[in-house]
Amino acid sequence: MKIIRVQDQLEGGKVAFNLLKESLAKGAKTLGLATGSSPISFYQEMVKSSLDFLEMTSINLDEYVGLSTENAQSYNYFMRQILFDAKPFKKNFIPNGLATDLEAEVKRYDQIIAEHPIDFQILGIGRNGHIGFNEPGTSFEEETHIVNLQESTIEANSRFFTSIEDVPKQAISMGIASIMKSKMIVLLAFGEEKADAIKGMISGSITEDLPASVLQKHENIIVIVDEAAASKLA
Ligand code: GLP
């Protein structure tokens, strides 16, 4: 794991964007994208740039079950607002949280991932070490699946909803096995609430209790952290 310490999220977004440009120069065609607040400055750099993504495909990590694409809290809505409306892609894939047959949706998404190998994957990290919505205890072998969100995740994500009761209890998430197949991974973490997860991910043992720890096994991962998120590292 290569660790890059930055001053703040703004600088982190610029560093991540430069890494993206390097990948694009090497021919990257498929981007794996994440939601949450951590990648926002990275997306802003993409939007500000003169690059176009018309020949590129994106695959998002996850989506809440039960939210329509017009719900402002859905990840589909978030991605359009933050990136896709300003920078159209050839194709954007996001799980369909309103699918009536969730098992069929899981299979469809695995098929999409198999057909579009991810060249460059952006990740955030949950306070409990989750990546995508792969909560502690998720098998490292798992592909796309339906997740029952943990209380701590529901609570952390409730800041985006009117009340905690509005936070969906389930999500569809790309699995850890698929994330690990990405050619390159850039993980962003800012703020002291991420310090424990970052410490466990980088210097703890590799365990399904802390999903992000699996990333120690990835051969091409760069972790971008601010001082607060890095504060518990030796
Ligand atoms: C959600 C998302 C994750 C994200 C995490 C952290 O649970 N499913 O992909 O990494 O939140 O979000 P934030 O970057 O806002 O702290």
pLDDT in tens, 112-165: 999 999 999 999 999 999 999 999 999 999 999 999 999 999 999 999 999 999
Q: Can you give the pLDDT at residue 121? A: 98
Please choose, from the candidates 230, 231, 225, 234, the residue with its C-alpha nearest in 3D space to the C-alpha of residue 8.
225
The per-residue pLDDT for range 181-230, each reduced to its tens digit, is 999 999 999 999 999 999 999 999 999 999 999 999 999 999 999 999 99
Statement: residue 234 has pLDDT above 90: no
Q: Whose CA is nearest to atom 11 of ligand 1?
A: 36
Q: What is the mean pLDDT of the chain?
A: 97
| Over residues 20-47, mean pLDDT | 98
Contacts for 66-75: CB closer than 8 Å, 24+ residues apart: 66/97, 66/98, 66/168, 66/170, 67/97, 67/98, 67/168, 68/97, 68/98, 69/98, 73/160, 73/161, 73/166, 75/35
| Over residues 15-26, mean pLDDT | 98
Task: Provide φ and ψ at 12, rounded to 5°.
Answer: -60, -40
Q: Can you give the pLDDT at residue 64? A: 97
| Over residues 10-15, mean pLDDT | 98
Confidence band, pLDDT 50/70/90 cuts, at residue 33: very high
The rounded percent of the chain whose pLDDT value lies above 90 is 100
**In the numeric block, which tokens belong to residue 38?**
């951590």
Q: Whose CA is nearest to atom 5 of ligand 1?
A: 126
Statement: residue 85 has pLDDT above 90: yes
pTM of the model: 0.97
Q: Whose CA is nearest to atom 1 of ligand 1?
A: 36
Q: Which of 38, 138, 223, 225 to mutate to test the pocket of ligand 1 (most atoms within 8 A of CB)?
A: 38
Q: Can you give the pLDDT at residue 30? A: 98
Q: Whose CA is nearest to atom 12 of ligand 1?
A: 36
Interval between CA 230 and ligand 1 midpoint (Å): 17
Q: Can you give the pLDDT at residue 75? A: 97
Please choose, from the candidates 63, 56, 74, the residue with its C-alpha nearest in 3D space to the C-alpha of residue 120.
56
Confidence band, pLDDT 50/70/90 cuts, at residue 50: very high
Task: Provide φ and ψ at 13, rounded to 5°.
Answer: -65, -40
**Helices (H), strands (E): how many in the chain?**
7, 10
Q: Can you give the pLDDT at residue 38? A: 98
| CB-ligand 1 contact for 38 (6 Å cutoff) | yes
| CB-ligand 1 contact for 34 (6 Å cutoff) | yes
DSSP annotation of 200 reads: H
Name the burial class of residue 210, with classes exposed (0-12), middle (13-18) and buried (19+) by CB atoms within 10 angstroms of its CB.
buried
| Residue 194 alpha carbon, nearest atom of ligand 1 | 16
Q: Can you give the pLDDT at residue 165? A: 96
